[in-house]
Homo-oligomer: A and B are copies of this chain.
Amino acid sequence: MSEDTARARQELALLLRRLNVELDAVGQRFAQLHGLNRTDVRALVAIMDAARRGEALTAGRLGEAVELRSASVTALVDRLEKVGHLRRSRDDADRRRVVLEMSDSAMAAGADHFGGLAQDMTAAMDAYTPAELAVVHRWLEDMTAVITRHARAEPPAAP
């Protein structure tokens, strides 16, 4: 691989990390605007993602998603419920479980903030052909796979 090729690839990795930092900053800004902390936002995002997939998150699964112990999840849900972003309700099928549902107001606030971002991103993609976007799609999936492998376990890289 030529020097230039290597440099170009490394630059892509750096760009991705920079993008990651800025995306975090967007979440941070949402938190400030609504008087939440970082964890609260991560939790709301996790619940919204689950809702998008059609599942309602339980307290336990939320704890897994944001890597918090059950005691902390209780406190977290207390906070979010107190400010009206969340509702607790017992699962009828398994009454040990507590399912979490976002309030309409929180959903609207999230849609406003992150939806606006998604809209701007979508608009910025006007400058790309479908073929180009397909390349980006493939690249993102490949990179996500690599990153996920590193996130789950120390890579079995050294044989």
A19 touches B120 (CB 8 A): no
Q: Is A17 an interface residue, CB under 8 A from the partner?
A: yes
B128 touches A26 (CB 8 A): no
For the complex, give the distance between the alpha carbons of A19 and B100 in Å: 25
Q: Name the residue among A6, A10, A20 with the largest chain B CB count within 10 angstroms.
A: A20
* Chain B residues with CB below 8 A from A128, complex form: 135, 139
Give which listed residue, B10, B125, B127, B149, contacts A118 with CB less than 8 A: B10
Assuming A130-B8, A133-B9, is B144 touching A121 (CB within 8 A)? Answer: no
Chain A residues 11-33 with CB under 8 Å of chain B are 11-13, 15-20, 22-26, 28-29, 33
Give which listed residue, B11, B29, B147, contacts A19 with CB less than 8 A: B147
A101–chain B nearest beta-carbon distance, Å? 21
- Interface SS of A by simple majority: helix
Q: Identify the stretch in A71-79, A84-92, A150-158 within 8 Å (CB) of chain B at 4 or more residues.
A: A150-158
* Chain B residues with CB below 8 A from A108, complex form: none
A43-69 contact mask (Cβ, 8 Å, vs B): 1 or 0: 000000000000000000000000100
Q: Name the residue among A142, A147, A148 with the largest chain B CB count within 10 angstroms.
A: A147
Residues of A at the B interface (CB closer than 8 Å) are 5-6, 8-13, 15-20, 22-26, 28-29, 33, 38, 67, 116-122, 124-125, 127-128, 130, 132-137, 139-152, 154-155, 157
